[in-house]
Amino acid sequence: MIQEIIIFVIFLVAAFYIARVLYRSFAVKSGCAKGCGGACSSIDFKKIQRELDQKAATVK
């Protein structure tokens, strides 16, 4: 009897873990696609424009 309860508890824990992994993979993430919340979540358009201007100046 105790063995069946232990197996049932292990099964419930495994099912919860799988459900959580599936939910996290399909949940909407805020920020960048990686979901790390780092600096990649914000785009600095001014920096991009400066780099493009510098490249254009070196080509001419």
Distance in angstroms (rounded) separating the CA atoms of residues 5 and 11: 10
Model pTM score: 0.47
1-51 pLDDT, tens digit per residue, is 999 999 999 999 999 999 999 998 887 665 555 556 555 556 778 888 999
Give the count of beta carbons closer than 10 Å to the beta carbon of residue 13: 10
